[in-house]
Chain A
Amino acid sequence: MRPEVALPILIPLLSGAISLMFWRSHFMQRLVAVAGSGALLLTSLWLMASVNADGILVMHMGDWEAPFGITLVADLLGAIMVVLTGIIGFAVALYSLASVGRGHEAFGYFPLMHLLLAGVAGAFLTGDIFNLYVWFEVMLVASFALLILGSEKPQMEGAIKYVTLNLLSSVIFLTAVGLLYGLVGTLNMADIAQRLSQVEDNGMIDVLAVMFMVAFGIKAAAFPLFFWLPASYHTPPVAVSALFAGLLTKVGVYALFRVFTLIFNQSPDYTHEIMVWGAGLTMLSGVLGAAAQFEFRRILSFHIVSQIGYMILGLALFTPLAIIGGVFYIMHHIIVKTNLFLVSGIVKRLRGTYELKRLGGLYKSHPWLAILFLIPALSLAGMPPLSGFFAKFIVIRAGIEAEAYGVTFIALLVGLLTLYSMTKIWAEVFWKAPPEPRDDDKEIPAISHRELWQLYVPVVGLALCTLFIGLNGQPIYALAEASAEQLLDPARYIEAVLGQGGEVTP
């Protein structure tokens, strides 16, 4: 019995329930938010340590042996993702204390946040494909409600696109699960992987692979169906944006990694080739979209799209080094992207707007904030010695070794254009002189020292994580390497879930 496999799902569910019980108590909800996400972070570290020590951990729910019951499986990739969920959950919970207004809290911001974290952790830990669908829906419902907290006009307009595209992708996913069940008669991912090798209908397998690719591609905001993301991510309160930016699309990327290393690894010439070009176009369209924007959070939203391309490229090249690069990129990206959104929230709090044209002079008034912006921004663009440099370096090197020169060139170009976008924000927000005040400027409430510090603490923490990954690259690389080894050897996953013999007679 390994409780740590289930705890990262149970703790947020439980804290969500407790938080609901204290619906009217402002103080208790905040206390539960910090305590619950802190406990999630601690258990995720525990899980990481156990997985590192003992290999892939499996838990059969209700003691129904696989493949009959639902299994929870924690391999290294799953554990890494759960740790990142813990870090982001804790940072955003701290940030929310000072940034989420009482009005939003009164409509259940904190219970929804816990529910979202539970859905995300569940998706990372489940070993059952239908259960993955259920966790996706848990996560989606929580995110729908968080997205429209406050019900402003842009939020409604963004939410319609977000809801429609995500529901469409869920239905495609469900359809693919139904067809897959018809083909192999099982839902356990390890069992599916084993039985699929005995299926002779290769055409059907390719159809299913592409259906999963489309479904998860929409969730990951990959080309061509990414437009729901920049249409909606800049509309909700900034803490929600940061949480979404860090975690939601990465669940789609994780699902792609899981499904295309474990289940659909038969014809990489076909499926992974599609992904290579999908990744290239995702990078390019995201970064070009960002170049045209002059709103802080919209630029960052488009950059989520472009960075997703690098992660998918790591998977698509399908060499050991490329997978390492993909996993490393996910680790780097989740932390950096959340941090950038948190910084944009501080800027908004200080100046009352996200429009670059109406910002300026922040370097003079808040030099430390400028430094805190530069760390994740330069990391995103891939400047050494920050985390993004190593992430990009590994992916690009893998691209050259795989002789995929076209897409490697795109990756390098996109890195340069990312730097352009980040320097644009730097110059407009921090460097240039503040613009003349306009008549329609809103009065900005004065910010107390205490409130400012509450906003700074999570930003500093995440910046330290970025520096840690960058300056301490070798252990992190070794971790990514070990997880890539597990991903490229599905037999180990299958053996861990189904037991020694592997073959199960129904």
Chain B
Amino acid sequence: MEPLMAVVIGVIYSAAIYMMLRRSIVKLVIGLMLLSNGANLLIFTSAGLTRGAPPLIPEGLSAPLGDVADPLPQALVLTAIVIAFGVLSFAVVLIRRAYEIVRADDLDKMKDTDT
């Protein structure tokens, strides 16, 4: 499972970076979305994939028996998804406003503040 996930993550990262290098601001935001999804998958994978072993403690014991899945990465991914969702919805509103004001979907037309 891990090698497959590694390849998937690599493809997502490279697709994201390719999208971010385009001039269109819509593609820029799509790139950012892909990038954060790739990071979430990476956290999930790098902590180790244990299948079919929920981290439940049997009644009467104080620790789970045998190898169980680590619950922490899932909590991390959940937090990261929520944050990425909030930030990206802001980014979508931002590019919409920017498009309304600049009237162009092209980063090369947004260079007034550069130096």
Cα–Cα distance between A179 and B23 once the two chains are bound (Å): 31
Task: Establish whether residues A137 and B111, one from each chain, have CB atoms under 8 Å apart when the complex forms.
Answer: no
Using CB atoms, name the residue of chain A closest to B42.
A178
- By a CB distance below 8 angstroms, the chain A residues around B32 are 164, 167-168, 171
B46 within 8 Å of A (CB atoms): yes
Task: Establish whether residues B36 and A171, one from each chain, have CB atoms under 8 Å apart when the complex forms.
Answer: yes
Interface size on B, residues (CB 8 A): 39
Interface mask (B75-115 → A, CB under 8 Å = 1, otherwise 0):
01001100100110011001101100110000100111111
Chain B nearest CB: distance from A129 CB in Å?
11
* Interface of A, helix, strand, loop or mixed by DSSP: helix
Give how many A-B residue pairs fall within 8 Å (CB-CB).
113
Cα–Cα distance between A168 and B87 once the two chains are bound (Å): 12
Task: Establish whether residues B25 and A160, one from each chain, have CB atoms under 8 Å apart when the complex forms.
Answer: yes
- By a CB distance below 8 angstroms, the chain A residues around B70 are 185
- By a CB distance below 8 angstroms, the chain B residues around A230 are 115
Cα–Cα distance between A232 and B110 once the two chains are bound (Å): 12
Task: Establish whether residues B46 and A156, one from each chain, have CB atoms under 8 Å apart when the complex forms.
Answer: no
A234 within 8 Å of B (CB atoms): yes
Within 8 A of A (CB), among B11-35: 20, 25, 28, 32, 35
Task: Establish whether residues A232 and B113, one from each chain, have CB atoms under 8 Å apart when the complex forms.
Answer: yes
Cα–Cα distance between A161 and B20 once the two chains are bound (Å): 12
Question: A156-B94, A292-B115 given as contacts; is B43 within 8 A of A177 (CB)?
Answer: yes
A130 within 8 Å of B (CB atoms): yes
Within 8 A of A (CB), among B29-88: 32, 35-36, 38-39, 42-48, 70, 72-73, 76, 79-80, 83, 86-87
Question: A154-B112, A181-B43, A231-B115 given as contacts; is B90 within 8 A of A145 (CB)?
Answer: yes
A503 within 8 Å of B (CB atoms): no
Task: Establish whether residues B87 and A175, one from each chain, have CB atoms under 8 Å apart when the complex forms.
Answer: no
Task: Establish whether residues A151 and B114, one from each chain, have CB atoms under 8 Å apart when the complex forms.
Answer: no
Cα–Cα distance between A168 and B39 once the two chains are bound (Å): 11
Task: Establish whether residues A171 and B47, one from each chain, have CB atoms under 8 Å apart when the complex forms.
Answer: no
Task: Establish whether residues A174 and B98, one from each chain, have CB atoms under 8 Å apart when the complex forms.
Answer: no
Within 8 A of B (CB), among A149-203: 151-154, 156-161, 163-164, 167-168, 170-171, 174-175, 177-179, 181-182, 185, 187
Which 8 residue pairs across A and B have the least CB separation, nearest first? A182-B46, A178-B43, A156-B98, A157-B110, A174-B39, A158-B113, A137-B83, A171-B35
Subset of 18 A-B contacts with CB under 8 Å? A134-B79, A144-B94, A145-B90, A156-B94, A157-B111, A160-B28, A160-B95, A164-B32, A174-B43, A175-B42, A178-B44, A181-B46, A181-B76, A185-B47, A187-B72, A231-B115, A232-B113, A234-B113
Interface residue ranges, B against A (CB under 8 Å): 20, 25, 28, 32, 35-36, 38-39, 42-48, 70, 72-73, 76, 79-80, 83, 86-87, 90-91, 94-95, 97-98, 101-102, 107, 110-115
